[in-house]
Amino acid sequence: MRLWVTGYRSYELGVFANNDPKVKVIKYLLKKHFEQKFNDGLEWVITGGQLGVEQWAAEAAIELKEEYPELKVSLMYPFSEFGSQWNEQNRMLLSDLESKVDFCASISKQPYQSPAQLKNFQKFMLDHTDEATLIYDPEYPGKPKYDYQAVQQYAENHDYPVTMFDMDNLQDAANEFQENLGN
């Protein structure tokens, strides 16, 4: 099974450093989810490279490879030169992540030119994955709204399971994570 993972950008969650406790909680939640999915046949975690949930999903999957060496991780970008406008620290984070994944490529071979490249990215991800996981809450709209809408629309006409983790799920994961720290 190939799983598309996407969600909020880091700034949308108020995360401005990788040592933010929210990152630990989100990676904890994703690791648990990936372990369950692995038992159901998960082979690939496929995500974009956006700062936030997408990079954290790739990091969580990479960390799980110690226990599940068959698990593969892919970064797919909507266009070439993805992240080139970011500051040096964020470009370094992306470069480091690229060196750890099993596969990395851009859907469009051109640098960013138009929103059509983002639509093509969504179509590619939907056509090349078997289900999706989103960390997104429609009550708190943000950039993932467009992926959420695309996934929902696609799932209406295709056998395409969608798992959503909303703000309540994140709070539950934070509570569980905190409890496990005490054990």
What tens digit of pLDDT does each residue of 25-79 get?
999 999 999 999 999 999 999 999 999 999 999 999 999 999 999 999 999 999 9
**What is the pLDDT, as a whole number, of residue 67?**
96
Q: How far is CA 35 from CA 2, 5, 41, 54, in A?
A: 14, 14, 10, 17
d(CA 59, CA 101): 9
CB 125 within 8 A of CB 46: yes
- The DSSP call for residue 111 is P
**What is the pLDDT, as a whole number, of residue 183?**
57
| Residue 73 parent element (H or E) | strand 72-77
d(CA 11, CA 7): 12
More confidently predicted of 62 and 181: 62
Residue 107 belongs to what domain range? Answer: 2-182
Helix 116-127 vs helix 145-157: crossing angle, to nearest 10: 40
Burial class of residue 156, CB neighbours in 10 A (0-12, 13-18, 19+): exposed
Sign of CA dihedral 88, 93, 97, 99: positive
Number of domain units in the chain: 1
**What is the pLDDT, as a whole number, of residue 181?**
81
What is the reported pTM?
0.96
* pLDDT band, very low/low/confident/very high, at 182 (cuts 50, 70, 90): low
- Residue 136's CATH number: 3.40.50.450
**What is the pLDDT, as a whole number, of residue 95?**
98
Helix ranges (H only) for the chain are: 21-39, 53-64, 88-100, 116-127, 145-157, 167-182
Q: What pLDDT, in 10s, does the model give residues 127-149?
A: 999 999 999 999 999 999 999 99
Q: How far is CA 17 from CA 5, 23, 123, 179, 181, in A?
A: 21, 9, 31, 23, 21
Residue position matching structure tokens 């406008």:
85
Q: What pLDDT, in 10s, does the model give residues 74-130?
A: 999 999 999 999 999 999 999 999 999 999 999 999 999 999 999 999 999 999 999
